[in-house]
Structure 1
Amino acid sequence: MHAFNKPTVDDVNNLFDEQKLNDSLQQGAGNIVSALKDEVAAINQGLKTLYQNGAPVEDIVFGRASLMDRLLTTLYQHIFSDIKQPVALIAVGGFGRGELHPASDIDLMLLLQDKEDTITKDAIEQFIMLLWDGGLEIGHSVRTLDECAAEAASDITIATNIMEARLLAGDLFLFDSMQQLTGPDSIWGDQAFFQTKLKEQVQRNGKYNDTAYNLEPNIKEGHGGLRDIQMIGWVTKRHFGASSLRDLVDHRFLREEELTALLEGQRLLWQIRCSLHYLTGRREDRLLFDYQHQLALEFGFEDDAEKRSNRAIEQFMQQYYRTVMELERLNEMLLQLFREAILYKDKPGEIVVINESFQTIHGYIEVRHENVFSDKPSALLELFLINEQHPEIQGVRAETIRLIRKNRHLIDDEFRESDEAKRLFIEIIRQSRGVTHEFRRMNRYGILAAYIPAFGRIVGRMQYDLFHAFTVDQHTLFVLRNLRRLSVPNFCHEFPLASGISHHLKKPELLYLAGLFHDIAKGRDGDHSELGAEDALEFCLSHGLSQKDSRLVSWLVRNHLIMSITAQRKDISDPEVIADFAEKVNSLRNLDYLYLLTMSDIRATNPKQWNSWKDKLLIELYNKTAHMLQQGVGYQANRQRDIEHNRTYAFRNLAKEGFGILEIDAIWDNFTDEYFLRHTPAEIVWHTKEIKKHTDTNTPVVKTRTDSRRGSMELFVFSRSVSHMFARIVSVLGQLNLSVADAFIMRGMKGCLLETYKIVFSDDMVEHIDNYANEVVPLVVDKLADTELSDLTTMAVPRVQKHFEVETKISFTQIDDNGVTRMHIETRDRPGLLSIIARTFIQCNIGIHSAKISTAGETANDYFDITQANRLNRLSDDMKYQLKQALLEQL
Structure 2
Amino acid sequence: MGAELDLAEDEAAAVFSARKIRTRLRADGLKPVTAFRDTLAWGRDRLYSLFHDGAPADSLVHARSHIVDEVLREAWLRVLPEAPAGVTLVAVGGYGRGELLPHSDIDILLLHVPGSLEQYRGALERFTAFLWDIGLEVGQSVRTVDDCVSEAAKDITVITNLIESRLLIGDASLYAQMQSALTPDKVWPVADFFRAKRDEQAARYRKYDDTGYKLEPNVKESPGGLRDIHTVGWVAKRHFGAQTLHELRDRGFLTKTECDELFAGQDFLWRVRFALHMITGRREDRLLFDHQIKVAALFGYVDGDLNRAVEQFMQLYYRTIKSLSCLNDMLLQLFDDAIIHGDQTQPIQPLNSRFQMRGQYIEARDDELFRKHPASMIEIFLLLQQHPKIEGISAQTVRLLVRDNRLITADVRNDVRARAFFIEMFREGAGLTRNLRRMNRYGVLGRYLPAFGKVVGLMQYDLFHTLTVDEHLLYVLRNLRRMALPRFQHELPFCSELFKKLSKPELLYIAGFFHDMSKGSGGDHSELGAVEATQFCLNHGLSHADAELISWLVQHHLMMSLTAQRADISDPQVVADFARKVGTPDRLDYLFLMTVADIRATNPALWNSWRESLLTELYRSTARALERGLDNPLRSDDMAAEAKARALELLATGDISAAQTQQVWARFEDDYFLRHSPEELAWHLPEIVHAKETDLPLILVRALDGRETTVFVYTRDRDHLFGLSTGVLARLGLNILDARINTTADGFTLDSYVVMEGDGTPINQPHRFDEIRDSLQKVLGDPTISIVDVNRRMPQKLKHFSTPTNVSFSRDHVRNRTILEIVTADRPGLLSMIGRVFHKRSILLDAAKIGTIGERAEDVFFITDSARNPISDKLLDELREVLVRTLDHSAAY
Q: TM-score range by the shorter chain?
A: over 0.9
Aligned residue for 1:663? 660
For residue 85 of structure 1, report the CA deviation from its aligned partner: 5.3
Aligned residue for 1:781? 777
| 1:245-256 equivalence runs, <5 A | 245-256=245-256
- 1:72 corresponds to which letter in structure 2? L
Q: Higher mean Cα deviation, 678-687 or 366-375? A: 366-375
Aligned residue for 1:831? 828
| 1:63-82 equivalence runs, <5 A | 63-82=63-82
Aligned residue for 1:725? 721
1:877 matched to 2:881? The reply is no
1:296 matched to 2:292? The reply is no
TM-score, normalised with respect to structure 1: 0.95
- Structure 2 distance, partners of 1:198, 1:219, is 19
Aligned residue for 2:133? 133
| Contact residue 429 and residue 506 of structure 2 kept, 8 A | no
| 1:205-224 equivalence runs, <5 A | 205-224=205-224
Aligned residue for 2:17? 13
For residue 45 of structure 1, report the CA deviation from its aligned partner: 1.9
| Contact residue 569 and residue 852 of structure 1 kept, 8 A | yes
Aligned residue for 2:235? 235
Aligned residue for 1:109? 109
For residue 11 of structure 1, report the CA deviation from its aligned partner: 1.5
Secondary structure in 1 matching 2:714: strand
| Contact residue 747 and residue 754 of structure 1 kept, 8 A | yes
| 1:544-563 equivalence runs, <5 A | 544-563=541-560
Secondary structure in 2 matching 1:758: strand
Secondary structure in 2 matching 1:835: helix
| 1:848-863 equivalence runs, <5 A | 848-863=845-860
Q: Higher mean Cα deviation, 690-699 or 587-596? A: 690-699
Secondary structure in 2 matching 1:608: helix
| Contact residue 518 and residue 529 of structure 2 kept, 8 A | yes
- Structure 2 distance, partners of 1:812, 1:159, is 66
Secondary structure in 1 matching 2:606: coil
In structure 2, the gaps of 5 or more residues are 1-9, 888-893
1:525 matched to 2:522? The reply is yes
Aligned residue for 1:758? 754
- Provide Cα deviations, 1:597-645, integer angstroms capped at 9, x if missing partner: 1100111111112111111111111111111111115576342221110
| Contact residue 115 and residue 144 of structure 1 kept, 8 A | no
- Provide Cα deviations, 1:540-585, integer angstroms capped at 9, x if missing partner: 0111111100100111100100011011111111111111110010
For residue 723 of structure 1, report the CA deviation from its aligned partner: 3.0
Aligned residue for 2:440? 443
| Contact residue 219 and residue 226 of structure 1 kept, 8 A | yes
1:357 matched to 2:354? The reply is yes
- Provide Cα deviations, 1:436-491, integer angstroms capped at 9, x if missing partner: 11110111111111111111111111111111011110000000111111111111
For residue 426 of structure 1, report the CA deviation from its aligned partner: 1.1
| Contact residue 89 and residue 167 of structure 2 kept, 8 A | yes
For residue 430 of structure 1, report the CA deviation from its aligned partner: 1.0
Aligned residue for 1:3? none
- Structure 2 distance, partners of 1:588, 1:780, is 44
Secondary structure in 1 matching 2:417: helix
- Provide Cα deviations, 1:816-842, integer angstroms capped at 9, x if missing partner: 476522211111211111111111112
- 1:528 corresponds to which letter in structure 2? H
- Structure 2 distance, partners of 1:387, 1:58, is 39
Secondary structure in 2 matching 1:522: helix
Aligned residue for 1:156? 156
**How many residue pairs get matched?**
877
- Structure 2 distance, partners of 1:698, 1:724, is 20
Q: Which of 488, 493, 496 is the equivalent residue of 2:493?
A: 496
Q: Higher mean Cα deviation, 835-844 or 437-446? A: 835-844
- 1:18 corresponds to which letter in structure 2? R
Secondary structure in 2 matching 1:759: strand
- Structure 1 distance, partners of 2:589, 2:21, is 74
For residue 197 of structure 1, report the CA deviation from its aligned partner: 0.5
Q: Do the aligned partners of residues 767 and 179 (structure 1) sit closer, same or farther apart at CA in structure 2, a change above 3 Å counting?
A: farther
| 1:341-420 equivalence runs, <5 A | 341-420=338-417
1:199 matched to 2:195? The reply is no
| Contact residue 423 and residue 540 of structure 2 kept, 8 A | yes
- Structure 2 distance, partners of 1:538, 1:414, is 16
For residue 499 of structure 1, report the CA deviation from its aligned partner: 0.8
- 1:48 corresponds to which letter in structure 2? Y
- 1:828 corresponds to which letter in structure 2? A
- Provide Cα deviations, 1:697-752, integer angstroms capped at 9, x if missing partner: 46310110025943x10101111254321111100111122111111111112111
- Structure 2 distance, partners of 1:634, 1:792, is 50
| Contact residue 12 and residue 59 of structure 1 kept, 8 A | no
| Contact residue 273 and residue 285 of structure 2 kept, 8 A | yes
1:453 matched to 2:462? The reply is no
Aligned residue for 1:508? 505
- Structure 2 distance, partners of 1:387, 1:818, is 57
- Structure 2 distance, partners of 1:754, 1:644, is 19
- Provide Cα deviations, 1:628-674, integer angstroms capped at 9, x if missing partner: 11111557634222111011222343343121122112222321111
For residue 379 of structure 1, report the CA deviation from its aligned partner: 1.4
- Structure 1 distance, partners of 2:726, 2:880, is 20
Aligned residue for 1:331? 328
Secondary structure in 2 matching 1:223: coil
For residue 503 of structure 1, report the CA deviation from its aligned partner: 1.9
Q: Do the aligned partners of residues 243 and 59 (structure 1) sit closer, same or farther apart at CA in structure 2, a change above 3 Å counting?
A: same
- Structure 1 distance, partners of 2:363, 2:586, is 42
For residue 804 of structure 1, report the CA deviation from its aligned partner: 2.0
- Provide Cα deviations, 1:762-781, integer angstroms capped at 9, x if missing partner: 77633655443221111111
1:887 matched to 2:883? The reply is yes
| Contact residue 579 and residue 634 of structure 1 kept, 8 A | no
- 1:155 corresponds to which letter in structure 2? D
- Provide Cα deviations, 1:388-416, integer angstroms capped at 9, x if missing partner: 11111101111101111222133211211
- Structure 1 distance, partners of 2:673, 2:517, is 43
- Structure 2 distance, partners of 1:169, 1:196, is 32
Q: Which of 623, 628, 632 is the equivalent residue of 1:626?
A: 623
1:605 matched to 2:602? The reply is yes
- Structure 1 distance, partners of 2:788, 2:619, is 42
| Contact residue 106 and residue 137 of structure 1 kept, 8 A | yes
- Structure 2 distance, partners of 1:749, 1:686, is 22
1:37 matched to 2:41? The reply is no
| Contact residue 720 and residue 753 of structure 1 kept, 8 A | yes
- 1:481 corresponds to which letter in structure 2? R
RMSD over aligned CA atoms reads 1.9
- Structure 2 distance, partners of 1:214, 1:353, is 40
Alignment identity in percent? 44
- 2:728 corresponds to which letter in structure 1? V
Q: Higher mean Cα deviation, 88-97 or 134-143? A: 134-143
| Contact residue 827 and residue 861 of structure 1 kept, 8 A | yes
Q: Do the aligned partners of residues 818 and 259 (structure 1) sit closer, same or farther apart at CA in structure 2, a change above 3 Å counting?
A: closer
- Structure 2 distance, partners of 1:322, 1:771, is 48
Q: Higher mean Cα deviation, 195-204 or 794-803? A: 794-803
In structure 1, the gaps of 5 or more residues are 1-5
1:738 matched to 2:738? The reply is no
- Structure 2 distance, partners of 1:750, 1:655, is 28
For residue 435 of structure 1, report the CA deviation from its aligned partner: 0.7
1:484 matched to 2:488? The reply is no
- Structure 2 distance, partners of 1:637, 1:111, is 83
| Contact residue 706 and residue 770 of structure 1 kept, 8 A | no
Secondary structure in 2 matching 1:716: strand
Aligned residue for 2:146? 146
- 1:758 corresponds to which letter in structure 2? V
- Structure 2 distance, partners of 1:764, 1:86, is 58
Q: Do the aligned partners of residues 541 and 310 (structure 1) sit closer, same or farther apart at CA in structure 2, a change above 3 Å counting?
A: closer
- Provide Cα deviations, 1:34-86, integer angstroms capped at 9, x if missing partner: 33222222222222223223332222110111111111111112212358552
| Contact residue 12 and residue 60 of structure 2 kept, 8 A | no
- Structure 1 distance, partners of 2:483, 2:80, is 67
- Provide Cα deviations, 1:506-542, integer angstroms capped at 9, x if missing partner: 1111111101110111032321100000010011011
